[in-house]
Amino acid sequence: MESPFVTIEWLSAHLTDPNVVVLDGSWHMPNAARNAQAEYLDGHIPGAVFFDIDGVADNTSDLPHMLPSPNDFSRMVGALGISNSMTIVIYDELGLFSAPRVWWTFMTMGARDVRILSGGGPKWRAERRPTEAGLVTRPRQTFETSFDPARVADFEAVRDRSQDGNAQIADARPAPRFHAEVPEPRAGLRSGHIPNSLNVPVSLLTEAGRIKPTADLQQLFADRGLDLAQPIITSCGSGITASTLALALELAGAKDVAVYDGSWAEWGSRKDADIET
Protein backbone atom coordinates (compact mmCIF):
# COMPACT_ATOMS: atom_id res chain seq x y z
CA MET A 1 0.00 0.00 0.00
CA GLU A 2 1.28 3.45 -0.91
CA SER A 3 1.61 5.61 2.18
CA PRO A 4 -1.52 7.71 2.68
CA PHE A 5 0.39 10.23 4.79
CA VAL A 6 1.68 13.66 3.82
CA THR A 7 4.13 15.70 5.84
CA ILE A 8 3.68 19.07 7.46
CA GLU A 9 6.16 20.45 4.93
CA TRP A 10 4.20 19.07 1.98
CA LEU A 11 0.92 20.51 3.18
CA SER A 12 2.48 23.88 3.96
CA ALA A 13 3.76 24.05 0.38
CA HIS A 14 0.38 23.05 -1.10
CA LEU A 15 -2.07 24.97 1.10
CA THR A 16 -3.11 27.28 -1.73
CA ASP A 17 -3.28 24.57 -4.40
CA PRO A 18 -6.85 24.78 -5.79
CA ASN A 19 -7.01 20.99 -6.13
CA VAL A 20 -6.10 20.38 -2.47
CA VAL A 21 -8.76 20.54 0.24
CA VAL A 22 -7.84 20.30 3.93
CA LEU A 23 -10.33 18.80 6.39
CA ASP A 24 -10.29 19.04 10.18
CA GLY A 25 -11.73 15.64 11.05
CA SER A 26 -11.42 16.01 14.82
CA TRP A 27 -13.84 14.03 17.00
CA HIS A 28 -13.69 13.24 20.70
CA MET A 29 -15.05 10.46 22.90
CA PRO A 30 -18.41 11.23 24.56
CA ASN A 31 -16.71 11.39 27.99
CA ALA A 32 -13.82 13.64 26.87
CA ALA A 33 -15.60 16.93 27.64
CA ARG A 34 -14.25 18.46 24.42
CA ASN A 35 -16.11 20.09 21.54
CA ALA A 36 -14.27 19.50 18.28
CA GLN A 37 -16.26 22.04 16.29
CA ALA A 38 -15.81 24.78 18.90
CA GLU A 39 -12.07 24.09 18.97
CA TYR A 40 -12.00 24.29 15.17
CA LEU A 41 -13.69 27.70 15.23
CA ASP A 42 -11.11 28.92 17.75
CA GLY A 43 -8.26 27.97 15.44
CA HIS A 44 -7.39 25.58 12.62
CA ILE A 45 -5.03 25.09 9.70
CA PRO A 46 -5.65 27.95 7.22
CA GLY A 47 -8.37 27.05 4.72
CA ALA A 48 -9.36 23.86 6.53
CA VAL A 49 -13.03 22.85 6.39
CA PHE A 50 -14.57 21.18 9.44
CA PHE A 51 -15.70 17.63 8.66
CA ASP A 52 -18.39 16.76 11.19
CA ILE A 53 -18.19 13.00 11.69
CA ASP A 54 -21.51 13.02 13.54
CA GLY A 55 -23.13 15.24 10.89
CA VAL A 56 -21.94 13.59 7.67
CA ALA A 57 -23.72 10.42 8.68
CA ASP A 58 -26.91 8.42 8.37
CA ASN A 59 -29.31 10.63 10.33
CA THR A 60 -32.03 7.96 10.18
CA SER A 61 -30.00 5.57 12.36
CA ASP A 62 -30.05 5.48 16.15
CA LEU A 63 -26.40 4.42 16.07
CA PRO A 64 -23.64 7.07 16.17
CA HIS A 65 -22.11 8.39 12.92
CA MET A 66 -23.05 5.47 10.68
CA LEU A 67 -22.08 5.83 7.02
CA PRO A 68 -24.66 7.80 5.04
CA SER A 69 -25.97 6.50 1.74
CA PRO A 70 -23.73 7.29 -1.24
CA ASN A 71 -26.27 9.82 -2.51
CA ASP A 72 -26.49 11.59 0.84
CA PHE A 73 -22.69 11.58 1.17
CA SER A 74 -22.34 13.09 -2.30
CA ARG A 75 -24.75 15.87 -1.39
CA MET A 76 -23.19 16.56 2.01
CA VAL A 77 -19.54 16.72 0.98
CA GLY A 78 -20.35 18.49 -2.27
CA ALA A 79 -21.87 21.24 -0.12
CA LEU A 80 -18.57 21.42 1.78
CA GLY A 81 -16.77 22.15 -1.47
CA ILE A 82 -15.19 18.72 -1.98
CA SER A 83 -15.09 16.81 -5.26
CA ASN A 84 -13.94 13.23 -5.78
CA SER A 85 -11.07 14.39 -8.02
CA MET A 86 -9.39 16.57 -5.38
CA THR A 87 -6.51 15.64 -3.11
CA ILE A 88 -8.18 15.45 0.30
CA VAL A 89 -5.88 15.97 3.29
CA ILE A 90 -7.33 15.13 6.70
CA TYR A 91 -6.02 15.88 10.17
CA ASP A 92 -7.28 15.81 13.74
CA GLU A 93 -6.25 17.56 16.91
CA LEU A 94 -5.11 14.42 18.75
CA GLY A 95 -2.42 13.56 16.19
CA LEU A 96 -3.97 10.37 14.83
CA PHE A 97 -7.33 9.48 16.31
CA SER A 98 -10.37 10.33 14.21
CA ALA A 99 -8.69 11.33 10.94
CA PRO A 100 -8.48 7.67 9.82
CA ARG A 101 -12.27 7.41 10.15
CA VAL A 102 -12.64 10.28 7.68
CA TRP A 103 -9.95 8.68 5.45
CA TRP A 104 -11.85 5.36 5.49
CA THR A 105 -15.15 7.11 4.73
CA PHE A 106 -13.77 8.86 1.66
CA MET A 107 -11.98 5.72 0.49
CA THR A 108 -15.23 3.76 0.85
CA MET A 109 -17.07 6.40 -1.17
CA GLY A 110 -14.54 6.35 -4.02
CA ALA A 111 -12.40 9.47 -3.56
CA ARG A 112 -9.39 9.50 -5.90
CA ASP A 113 -6.66 10.73 -3.52
CA VAL A 114 -7.12 10.77 0.26
CA ARG A 115 -4.26 11.63 2.60
CA ILE A 116 -3.72 12.05 6.34
CA LEU A 117 -1.46 14.74 7.78
CA SER A 118 1.35 13.00 9.67
CA GLY A 119 1.37 14.30 13.23
CA GLY A 120 -1.89 16.17 12.69
CA GLY A 121 -2.83 19.41 14.39
CA PRO A 122 -0.49 18.94 17.37
CA LYS A 123 2.60 18.73 15.14
CA TRP A 124 1.39 21.66 13.01
CA ARG A 125 1.02 23.78 16.15
CA ALA A 126 4.27 22.54 17.70
CA GLU A 127 6.11 23.82 14.63
CA ARG A 128 4.34 27.19 15.06
CA ARG A 129 2.72 26.98 11.65
CA PRO A 130 -0.02 29.55 10.95
CA THR A 131 -3.61 29.01 12.05
CA GLU A 132 -6.81 30.92 11.50
CA ALA A 133 -10.10 31.19 13.37
CA GLY A 134 -13.70 31.06 12.16
CA LEU A 135 -15.72 28.98 9.73
CA VAL A 136 -14.28 28.23 6.29
CA THR A 137 -16.74 27.76 3.42
CA ARG A 138 -15.92 26.71 -0.13
CA PRO A 139 -17.86 26.83 -3.39
CA ARG A 140 -20.12 23.82 -3.88
CA GLN A 141 -18.58 20.94 -5.82
CA THR A 142 -19.81 17.68 -7.33
CA PHE A 143 -18.67 14.52 -5.58
CA GLU A 144 -19.35 11.45 -7.70
CA THR A 145 -19.42 8.44 -5.38
CA SER A 146 -18.19 4.97 -6.24
CA PHE A 147 -19.17 2.97 -3.19
CA ASP A 148 -16.88 0.05 -2.23
CA PRO A 149 -18.99 -2.44 -0.23
CA ALA A 150 -15.94 -4.60 0.52
CA ARG A 151 -14.73 -1.95 2.99
CA VAL A 152 -17.84 -2.21 5.18
CA ALA A 153 -19.21 -5.01 7.37
CA ASP A 154 -22.71 -5.03 8.90
CA PHE A 155 -24.09 -6.86 11.91
CA GLU A 156 -25.15 -9.95 9.99
CA ALA A 157 -21.76 -10.34 8.34
CA VAL A 158 -19.92 -9.97 11.65
CA ARG A 159 -22.25 -12.43 13.38
CA ASP A 160 -21.74 -14.98 10.61
CA ARG A 161 -17.95 -14.55 10.58
CA SER A 162 -17.86 -14.84 14.36
CA GLN A 163 -19.56 -18.21 14.02
CA ASP A 164 -17.91 -19.65 10.91
CA GLY A 165 -14.41 -18.22 11.30
CA ASN A 166 -14.18 -17.18 7.64
CA ALA A 167 -12.84 -13.79 8.70
CA GLN A 168 -10.84 -12.68 11.72
CA ILE A 169 -12.43 -10.02 13.93
CA ALA A 170 -10.06 -7.51 15.53
CA ASP A 171 -11.33 -5.17 18.27
CA ALA A 172 -9.49 -1.86 18.75
CA ARG A 173 -10.98 -1.00 22.15
CA PRO A 174 -8.76 -0.85 25.26
CA ALA A 175 -8.21 -4.25 26.91
CA PRO A 176 -10.29 -3.47 30.04
CA ARG A 177 -13.34 -2.76 27.88
CA PHE A 178 -12.71 -5.82 25.69
CA HIS A 179 -12.50 -8.03 28.80
CA ALA A 180 -15.56 -6.42 30.47
CA GLU A 181 -13.46 -5.15 33.36
CA VAL A 182 -14.85 -1.59 33.04
CA PRO A 183 -18.20 -0.28 31.80
CA GLU A 184 -18.63 1.08 28.31
CA PRO A 185 -18.53 4.90 27.97
CA ARG A 186 -21.91 4.85 26.21
CA ALA A 187 -24.88 4.23 28.47
CA GLY A 188 -27.03 1.16 27.90
CA LEU A 189 -24.36 -1.09 26.38
CA ARG A 190 -23.42 -4.48 27.74
CA SER A 191 -19.74 -5.16 28.43
CA GLY A 192 -17.55 -7.75 26.75
CA HIS A 193 -16.56 -8.59 23.19
CA ILE A 194 -17.74 -10.34 20.03
CA PRO A 195 -17.19 -14.11 20.33
CA ASN A 196 -13.94 -15.30 18.74
CA SER A 197 -12.60 -11.75 18.30
CA LEU A 198 -9.05 -10.65 19.07
CA ASN A 199 -8.06 -7.54 20.98
CA VAL A 200 -5.67 -5.09 19.27
CA PRO A 201 -5.93 -1.85 21.28
CA VAL A 202 -5.55 1.19 19.07
CA SER A 203 -3.03 2.67 21.52
CA LEU A 204 -0.53 0.03 20.38
CA LEU A 205 -0.63 1.29 16.77
CA THR A 206 0.67 4.82 17.29
CA GLU A 207 3.49 6.68 18.97
CA ALA A 208 3.55 10.44 19.56
CA GLY A 209 0.47 10.90 17.39
CA ARG A 210 1.85 9.02 14.39
CA ILE A 211 1.45 5.49 13.06
CA LYS A 212 4.23 3.09 13.98
CA PRO A 213 6.67 1.77 11.33
CA THR A 214 5.34 -1.00 9.10
CA ALA A 215 7.67 -3.64 10.53
CA ASP A 216 6.49 -2.86 14.06
CA LEU A 217 2.86 -3.14 12.96
CA GLN A 218 3.50 -6.48 11.27
CA GLN A 219 5.14 -7.83 14.43
CA LEU A 220 2.29 -6.54 16.59
CA PHE A 221 -0.34 -8.20 14.44
CA ALA A 222 1.59 -11.47 14.41
CA ASP A 223 1.91 -11.34 18.20
CA ARG A 224 -1.84 -10.76 18.48
CA GLY A 225 -2.61 -13.78 16.30
CA LEU A 226 -3.76 -12.00 13.13
CA ASP A 227 -3.01 -13.52 9.72
CA LEU A 228 -2.68 -10.64 7.24
CA ALA A 229 -3.24 -13.01 4.32
CA GLN A 230 -6.79 -13.77 5.50
CA PRO A 231 -9.87 -11.51 5.64
CA ILE A 232 -10.11 -9.24 8.68
CA ILE A 233 -13.01 -7.23 10.10
CA THR A 234 -12.17 -4.42 12.51
CA SER A 235 -14.41 -3.21 15.30
CA CYS A 236 -14.25 -0.76 18.22
CA GLY A 237 -16.74 1.31 20.21
CA SER A 238 -18.48 3.10 17.33
CA GLY A 239 -16.35 2.69 14.20
CA ILE A 240 -13.78 5.43 14.85
CA THR A 241 -10.68 3.60 16.06
CA ALA A 242 -11.71 0.53 14.02
CA SER A 243 -10.80 2.73 11.04
CA THR A 244 -7.34 3.40 12.50
CA LEU A 245 -6.87 -0.33 12.92
CA ALA A 246 -8.01 -0.90 9.33
CA LEU A 247 -5.50 1.68 8.13
CA ALA A 248 -2.68 0.05 10.10
CA LEU A 249 -3.60 -3.39 8.78
CA GLU A 250 -3.54 -2.17 5.18
CA LEU A 251 -0.17 -0.48 5.77
CA ALA A 252 1.12 -3.78 7.17
CA GLY A 253 0.06 -5.61 4.01
CA ALA A 254 -3.45 -6.91 4.67
CA LYS A 255 -5.47 -7.04 1.44
CA ASP A 256 -9.00 -7.78 2.68
CA VAL A 257 -10.03 -5.45 5.52
CA ALA A 258 -13.54 -4.25 6.36
CA VAL A 259 -14.74 -1.99 9.17
CA TYR A 260 -17.75 -3.04 11.24
CA ASP A 261 -19.52 0.30 11.05
CA GLY A 262 -21.93 -0.31 13.93
CA SER A 263 -19.18 -1.77 16.15
CA TRP A 264 -19.87 -2.19 19.87
CA ALA A 265 -22.48 0.61 19.85
CA GLU A 266 -24.60 -1.83 17.83
CA TRP A 267 -23.38 -5.22 19.06
CA GLY A 268 -23.49 -4.31 22.75
CA SER A 269 -27.03 -2.97 22.44
CA ARG A 270 -28.59 -5.95 20.67
CA LYS A 271 -30.18 -8.71 22.72
CA ASP A 272 -29.67 -11.16 19.84
CA ALA A 273 -25.88 -10.64 19.87
CA ASP A 274 -23.80 -13.17 21.79
CA ILE A 275 -21.13 -11.72 24.05
CA GLU A 276 -17.95 -13.12 25.58
CA THR A 277 -16.35 -11.54 28.62
pLDDT score of 6 more than 90: yes
Residue 108 lies in a domain: yes
Note the pLDDT of residue 2.
Answer: 83
Q: What is the CATH number of the domain that holds 112?
A: 3.40.250.10
Shared domain check, 11 and 133: yes
Domain that holds residue 119: 5-147
For the annotated catalytic residues, the residue numbers are 236
Residue 31: which pLDDT band, with cuts at 50, 70 and 90?
Answer: confident
| Overall pTM surpassing 0.85 (yes/no) | yes
pLDDT at 187: 87
274 located within any domain: no
Same domain, residue pair 245 and 130? no
* pLDDT-based confidence at residue 30 (cuts at 50, 70, 90): confident
Top-confidence residue, 185 or 10? 10
Residues 137 and 15 occupy one common structural domain: yes
Q: Average of pLDDT values for 74-101?
A: 98
Q: pLDDT digits over 133-151, tens only? A: 999 999 999 999 999 999 9
**What mean pLDDT is predicted for residues 223-244?**
98
Domain shared by 220 and 114, yes or no: no
Give the mean pLDDT of the chain: 97
Q: Is the pLDDT of residue 234 over 90?
A: yes
Closest CA to 23 of 71, 82, 84: 82
Residues 22 and 129 in one domain: yes
| DSSP assignment of the chain | ----EE-HHHHHHHTT-TTEEEEE-----TTS---HHHHHHH-BSTTPEE--TTTSS-TT-SSTTPPPPHHHHHHHHHHTT--TTSEEEEE-TTSSSSHHHHHHHHHHTT-SEEEEETTHHHHHHHTT---B-S--------------GGGEE-HHHHHHHHHH-SSEEEE-S-HHHHTTSS--SSTT---SB-TTEEE--GGGTEETTEEPPHHHHHHHHHHTT--TTS-EEEE-SSSSHHHHHHHHHHHHT-S-EEEESSHHHHHTT-TTS--B-
Q: Are residues 11 and 142 in the same domain?
A: yes
* pLDDT tens-digit map of 35-63: 999 999 999 999 999 999 999 999 999 99
Is the pLDDT reported for residue 1 higher than 90?
Answer: no
The pLDDT, as a whole number, for residue 39 is: 98
Domain count along the chain: 2
Instruction: Give me the mean pLDDT over the 167-176 stretch.
Output: 98
Average pLDDT over residues 166-177: 98
Task: Give the whole-angstrom CA distance, residue 174 versus residue 200.
Answer: 8
The domain boundary, picked from 94, 116, 147, lies at: 147
